[in-house]
Amino acid sequence: MGDFNSKPGGEVYRTFVGEENSGDPDLLVDSVEGGFGIDWILYRGDVNVNKYENVDYNVDGVYPSDHKPVVAEFEIRKK
């Protein structure tokens, strides 16, 4: 994961996830299907994405970041 500041479908995103239906096992998967926003959490392997959230927390309209942080909860499947 990282602070990519790049939308899904762009060159940076495609570097990590490839083109649609590429089938390359070395590529990563976005934790939210279809991707959105400028930051994303990507993964690879046998996991479930249990929760994905763009955090909207603020105090009196002041946010802790220049944009909404992304949080994902994963469950690693046992083999």
What's this model's pTM, rounded to 2 decimal places? 0.76
Please write the tens of the pLDDT for every residue from 42-74.
Answer: 999 899 999 998 888 888 988 777 777 788 999
Structure token pair of residue 19? 């083109």
Structure token pair of residue 15? 């570097």
Structure token pair of residue 33? 């299907």
Give me the mean pLDDT over the 8-37 stretch: 85
Give me the mean pLDDT over the 29-38 stretch: 82
Strand partners, 54: 70
Residue pair 32/54 in contact by the 8 Å Cβ criterion? no
Structure token pair of residue 52? 């994905």
- Kindly report the average pLDDT of the chain as a whole number: 85
